[in-house]
């Protein structure tokens, strides 16, 4: 059973077809990359499967459940967590607090427990705090835990984004251009992190422009151009695929 599957997923903005009849599939524990020239529809696709856009046509299935019209928070409950192309953090709170916020779904204290501050509630709070520290450790930014998110340098904000997403206990993690704007050092760091994340049993789908990252890390690659899938397969196959090369010809993609 595929983890996530789309059937003829389509999104039109007025007359403009951003995503057209996309059939897509990802299995558990895979790392799949979604690539394509600018404007190919990659982020629109992400927004569709995470509930931020409503599809014009087509269906989305998660573990055989039809999730086509669900809202973002409902998808998060099912284990689909994402990051954003334009970095989103909680600017006014500290790094640690932000990651703690990420674990919102993982505890569910009773309202009476909250009001009377029972031992059970306090234990859950401690659990969540410890988990946040563990995640910060795992990602290597623990020393930043008391800094306000808005004061972090760009590269670390992107890592914080991943930390917050991990705190939500994802089953399927969608990373939107995780390496964009990063120098080679940071890019290597992120690549290693993605491997570590997969080792934890999390399935990863990423949109990325940096071909080194994509070719090195992916189990399979799906290529979008003008909203349609023009190729899919192993990195080796994609590298030699004529259609893909044509789509990128004249396209100068820079990394960092």
Partner 1 sequence: MKKRFSYFRWFLFLFFLLSVPFLPIGNYQLHIIIIGCIYAVMVLSLNLITGYVGELSLGNVAFFGVGAFTSALLTLGGVSFWVSFLAAGMVAGIFGSLIGYITLKLRGAYFVIVTLAFAEILRLIDTNWTSLTNGPMGLSNIPLPEIHIPYLLNITFSDKIHFYYLSLGLLLLALYVVYRLVNSRIGRAWVSIRENEDLAKSIGINAFNYALLAFVVGAIFTGLGGSVYAHYMSFIGPDVFSFSITVSMLIMLIMGGKGTIIGPIIGAFVFTALPEYLRIAQLYRLSILGIILIFAVIFLPAGIVSMPKRIISFIKERRRQFGTS
Residues that bind partner 1 (CB under 8 A): 50, 52, 71-73, 76-77, 81-82, 84, 88-93, 97, 100-102, 104-105, 107, 109, 114-115, 117, 121, 125, 164-165, 167-168
What is residue 234's three-state secondary structure? coil
The CB-of-161 to partner 1 minimum distance in angstroms stands at 8
- CA 251 – CA 191 distance, rounded (Å): 24
The CB-of-89 to partner 1 minimum distance in angstroms stands at 7
Nearer to partner 1, 102 or 227 (CB): 102
Nearest-Å Rg of the Cα atoms of the chain is 19
The CB-of-159 to partner 1 minimum distance in angstroms stands at 15
Residues forming a β-bridge with 232? 222
Nearer to partner 1, 101 or 133 (CB): 101
Which runs of consecutive H residues, i.e. helices, occur in the chain?
42-49, 72-77, 95-102, 111-116, 119-139, 154-167, 184-199, 211-217, 235-240, 242-248
Measured torsion, CA atoms of residues 192, 103, 73, 163, in degrees rounded to the nearest 10: -20
Nearer to partner 1, 104 or 196 (CB): 104
The CB-of-77 to partner 1 minimum distance in angstroms stands at 5
- CA 162 – CA 155 distance, rounded (Å): 11
The CB-of-98 to partner 1 minimum distance in angstroms stands at 8
- CA 67 – CA 50 distance, rounded (Å): 9
Find how far residue 100's CA is from the centre of its chain.
18
The CB-of-114 to partner 1 minimum distance in angstroms stands at 4
- CA 150 – CA 137 distance, rounded (Å): 20
Nearer to partner 1, 89 or 223 (CB): 89
Nearer to partner 1, 52 or 248 (CB): 52
Nearer to partner 1, 117 or 236 (CB): 117
**The token pair that represents 170 in the structure block:** 């994802």
């Amino acid at each position: 059973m595929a983890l996530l599957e789309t059937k003829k997923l389509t999104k039109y903005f007025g007359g403009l077809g951003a995503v057209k009849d996309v059939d897509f599939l990802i299995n558990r524990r895979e790392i799949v990359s979604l690539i394509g020239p600018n404007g190919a529809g990659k982020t629109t696709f992400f927004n569709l499967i995470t509930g931020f856009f409503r599809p014009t046509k087509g269906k989305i299935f998660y573990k055989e459940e039809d999730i086509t019209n669900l809202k973002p928070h409902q998808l998060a409950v099912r284990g689909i967590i994402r990051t954003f192309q334009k970095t989103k953090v909680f600017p006014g709170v500290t790094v640690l607090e932000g990651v703690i916020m990420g674990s919102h779904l993982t505890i569910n204290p009773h309202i009476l427990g909250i009001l009377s501050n029972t031992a059970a509630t306090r234990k859950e709070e401690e659990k969540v705090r410890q988990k946040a520290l563990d995640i910060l450790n795992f990602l290597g930014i623990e020393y930043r835990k008391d800094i306000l998110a808005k004061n972090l340098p760009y590269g670390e904000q992107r890592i914080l984004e991943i930390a917050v997403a991990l705190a939500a206990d994802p089953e399927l993690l969608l990373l939107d251009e995780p390496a964009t704007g990063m120098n080679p050092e940071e890019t290597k760091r992120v690549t290693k992190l993605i491997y570590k994340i997969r080792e934890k049993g999390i399935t990863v789908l990423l949109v990325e422009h940096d071909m080194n990252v994509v070719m090195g890390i992916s189990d399979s690659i799906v290529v979008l151009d003008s909203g349609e899938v023009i190729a899919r397969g192993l990195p080796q196959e994609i590298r030699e695929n004529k259609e893909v090369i044509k789509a990128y010809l004249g396209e100068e993609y820079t990394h960092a």
